[in-house]
Structure 1
């Protein structure tokens, strides 16, 4: 093997190992949160403990599904009440979804993304239930609250989808507002959906189901209350091309989700 190829191979190995270590640290932190919510008798203590209630300690169950890209499914991340609350806020204000124009940084309509959605505003961010959700996201992702963008709520109806894409930016306009996106928390708000999986084509080579089709990669079925936490940036500080992901076509029912993108620094 030529020397240049050996160096490249070594660097790629280091990055992969770094991502695995990062996922281990993340999981260890989450398990530490979980264990601290139990007494010696194994009984969860929530009485007069608002912090445990806010973080849903004892309910949230992490599952690492990929080391590279780093993907963790957080089962029971939201309560049923929180899911219904987000849907109720969003429903009257849903509009056709857009994608970011890399030349201008502005949202434009595209056949890449067929859904409807809306963003919570800064005033709604102060609502107690929204504040609790945002704090939970910050703690489990280990990213400051102020680095998070406003939550976006989306609805995918039958035959709607979002083609594979990256959450990190390719334009300079958006980088001025908090730097690069480093991680995403995708929360599912509805059940009884056929299709609509979140699909990571570069995460593994096994078969998975995506909108009724068999594909290579990993897919996560939308289950009400669950969340998917994944990183668009590796531990080397570079955008991770393997973090490409998409929303598979919905075959029946409605898929509702809420997305929180997190930046390198405080997002405006």
Structure 2
């Protein structure tokens, strides 16, 4: 009878967890449910999490941002400075890290889902797209040395949708493998038909990687935000770098780019650039041994 009693207790405990697992926030600020994640693509690596945020969390982020919005900027490819451009016509603002308990909980959940440290991530950026506003196709990794100095390339992006959009506003990947295999009816915009696309749905989150597993840049990660045709779009973006963004080492990018160990490429491919940055990338006092494979300097 003892084994049966143990089994009954286990099942009761499991049933007690079901309500928490089915909550919109995943049952806790740092909890995530892999059963809600769908693989969208392997080139680029892209995944959709249904109900990553609760509707209350979405509304909270929007309310925090209102009254603080400014014209969105883009990074100049040569200087790395933020400049205005018709490529990006939305408005936006950055929240402070751990601005309140809700923001801190979302940041913790992002780290749990991506398996990337919180310190590697930038603050959450809230974006607002009104009628006709968009962000043309672009890469989240950098083309200039200045932005690489703090945290290196952006390895991953988590895009959280804070509202539904009546029409348009899709996230589209024009270079994605298999983009022509996605079936689309009349509810999709013409822009979305140019590639693999994701419709904004309040509470959902899109995770995609801008670097290959060997830390080289992935051209298939080219993506854009389609123009809003009807309604408005609010979203929250979390960019995550290959190493600490909060405490970046002072590593010069002007020194020769090289690997000091023949195994660097293999180590980078299995994630050692993120797990062992002191050896692979280096610190403010010394250069790492696999800077080329980690993509933190010019080849």
- Alpha carbons of structure 1 residues 113 and 51: separation in structure 2 relative to 1, 3 Å: closer
Alignment match of 2:149 (pick from 154, 176, 180): 176
Q: What pairs with 1:141-160 in structure 2 (closer than 5 Å)?
A: 141-160=114-133
Match of 1:205 in 2: 179
Q: Quote the Cα distance in structure 1 between the aligned partners of 2:165 and 2:86.
A: 25
**TM value normalised by structure 2:** 0.71
Q: How far apart are 1:67 and its partner, in Å?
A: 1.1
**Aligned: 1:239 with 2:217:** yes
Q: What whole-Å deviation, never above 9, does each CA across 1:213-265 have from its counterpart, x for those lacking one?
A: 46242100000000000000011110101100000010011100000000011
Q: Secondary structure at the match of 2:127?
A: strand
Work out the number of aligned pairs and report it: 227
- Alpha carbons of structure 1 residues 202 and 86: separation in structure 2 relative to 1, 3 Å: same
Q: What whole-Å deviation, never above 9, does each CA across 1:110-149 have from its counterpart, x for those lacking one?
A: 0100100011124xx2411011000000010110000000
CA contact (8 A) 1:193 1:222 kept: no
Q: Quote the Cα distance in structure 2 between the aligned partners of 1:223 and 1:75.
A: 9
Q: How far apart are 1:162 and its partner, in Å?
A: 0.6
Q: How far apart are 1:55 and its partner, in Å?
A: 3.4
Q: Quote the Cα distance in structure 2 between the aligned partners of 1:164 and 1:239.
A: 16
**Aligned: 1:185 with 2:163:** no
Q: Quote the Cα distance in structure 2 between the aligned partners of 1:258 and 1:214.
A: 20
Q: Secondary structure at the match of 2:47?
A: strand
**Aligned: 1:137 with 2:110:** yes
Match of 2:269 in 1: none
Q: Quote the Cα distance in structure 2 between the aligned partners of 1:214 and 1:182.
A: 24
**Structure holding more strand per residue:** 1
**TM value normalised by structure 1:** 0.78
CA contact (8 A) 2:110 2:158 kept: yes
Q: Secondary structure at the match of 2:106?
A: helix
Alignment match of 1:267 (pick from 217, 235, 245): 245
- List structure 1 segments (4+ residues) > 6 angstroms apart after TM superposition: none
Q: Quote the Cα distance in structure 2 between the aligned partners of 1:51 and 1:221.
A: 21
**Aligned: 1:162 with 2:127:** no
**Aligned: 1:248 with 2:226:** yes
Q: Please report the RMSD computed on the Cα atoms of aligned residues, expressed in angstroms.
A: 2.3
Q: Quote the Cα distance in structure 2 between the aligned partners of 1:201 and 1:208.
A: 15
Match of 2:297 in 1: none
Q: What whole-Å deviation, never above 9, does each CA across 1:46-95 have from its counterpart, x for those lacking one?
A: 49xx9941135459710111011100001100011110011001110111
Larger Rg: 2
Q: Quote the Cα distance in structure 1 between the aligned partners of 2:138 and 2:33.
A: 34
Q: What pairs with 1:98-117 in structure 2 (closer than 5 Å)?
A: 98-117=73-92
CA contact (8 A) 2:134 2:227 kept: yes
Alignment match of 1:227 (pick from 205, 214, 218): 205
